[in-house]
Amino acid sequence: MDQPRHTRRHTLTRNAAGPGLAEAFVIIAIATILITRLYLRLTGYPQIGGGDLHIAHALYGGALMMLALIIGWATLGFGPRVLCVVLGGIGFGLFLDEVGKFVTKDNDYFYGPAAEIMYILVAVLLVGARIMRDFRPLDARECLASAAAIAADGIARGLAARRRELGLSLLDRAREGEVDPADVKHVEALLLSADSATDRLYSAQRRAITLIPDFFRSPRWVAVVGWMLVVGSFFSAALGALGAALGGYLYEDHDVRIELAGLSVATMILFVSAALTLGMALPAMIARRRNDGVGPLQWLRNAALTFTLLNALVDFATEGFGALLGLSVGLFALAILSYHLDRAARSGVAEAVPATAPEGIAR
């Protein structure tokens, strides 16, 4: 009788899809905040309730987060997990939007530093997701566990071709580590034997991509967006540092007005955001001269995500709805980079699929 194997295991086993889902959660939460404030501004800040009652939308946010938790506990599979991310992201955004009421004695919804509180929470989530993904890659056992989770989903609901390919590529990475080859073969057999299924969400994404004009699909846009991030973040950081050094500066005549804000919490946040963006975008653009693969595109997308969404929270608090214009430009840059990152990632996964996979699965 074989003796059980005793190997050292980590306390936490990371999910290969976890960081991406965490980023989606944050993006949905931020979008919910912006849409909520836009709606309230356009409708004159209506209140739900009557008399002495006021049902704050933070309560709806809490209900949605509770519903996301219950769905996550009660169900298996990638589809319910995505639903949890959507519901939880919307709920968290509704809850976070009213943070000003929770930290002030007079329940001030328009409390200025609320943007900084949101910034800290969002920054912690984004940085945490990045650390999970980039600073220590998944080990062989975690790759095997993620592939097994995909296989379990296939047993219950079938597997879309893209999910099957992802599971097989994770198994390839698991083979390179110290895992039992028999365990890899068992999971591989489940992945290959699972019924085929449709991926409605991915199909909708692909249909949406086909609506993008061919002009915007050109790889040249990556260079344009990347260098715009480098130049924009450089000048933002330089002007922020200059304004802080001068303690604020104002020049104004009949035709020109130049104002550099002094040192404040908001300007410090914008300076840190610009510095982080520059620290990610510039090395990524230099690396693209030697490597046009997934790595540089991931860091460019991280830079765009930082510069766009974190700046939007501060700009929205200081400039009102004028921040929506900058947010729209940033979301355009994110869409361009995400499109090309998805193409590069799918190309890499296709190359990693074993040649023995049945026809119709590998491609």
User: pLDDT band at 303, cuts 50/70/90?
Assistant: confident
Length of the chain: 363
Please give the residue that has the higher pLDDT: either 168 or 320.
168
pLDDT at 283 exceeding the cut of 80: yes
Q: For residue 229, what pLDDT band results from cuts at 50, 70 and 90?
A: confident
CA-based nearest residue to 123, from 333, 302, 320: 302
Q: Across the chain, how many H-helices and E-strands are there?
A: 14, 2
Average pLDDT, integer, range 308-320: 67
Sorted by where each begins, the domain ranges of the chain are 18-135, 140-211, 214-347
By the 10 Å C-beta count (0-12 exposed, 13-18 middle, 19+ buried), 256 is classed as: exposed
Answer whether residue 259 shows pLDDT above 70. Answer: no
Q: Which two tokens stand for residue 116?
A: 């900084």
| CA distances, 332 to each of 4, 203, 308 (Å) | 54, 21, 10
C-alpha–C-alpha distance, residues 347 and 11, integer Å: 33
pLDDT of residue 242: 73
How many angstroms separate the CA atoms of 14 and 129, rounded?
A: 11
Torsions phi, psi for 289 (to 5 deg)? -70, -25
- Mean pLDDT over residues 318-337, rounded? 69
Q: What is the mean pLDDT of the chain?
A: 77
Residue 23 phi, psi (nearest 5): -65, -40
Cβ-in-10-Å burial (0-12, 13-18, 19+) of 343 comes to middle
Q: Give residue 356's pLDDT band: very low, low, confident or very high (50, 70, 90).
A: very low
pLDDT tens by residue, 11-62: 678 888 888 888 889 889 988 988 888 888 888 877 776 666 777 888 999 9
Instruction: Between 116 and 165, name the one with better pLDDT.
Output: 165
**Model pTM score:** 0.67
Q: Of 15, 21, 22, 20, whose CA–CA distance to 146 is shortest?
A: 15
| pLDDT band at 93; cut points 50, 70, 90 | very high
Residue 145: pLDDT above 80? yes
Percent of the chain at pLDDT > 90 equals 10
Dist. CA 134–CA 65, nearest whole Å = 28
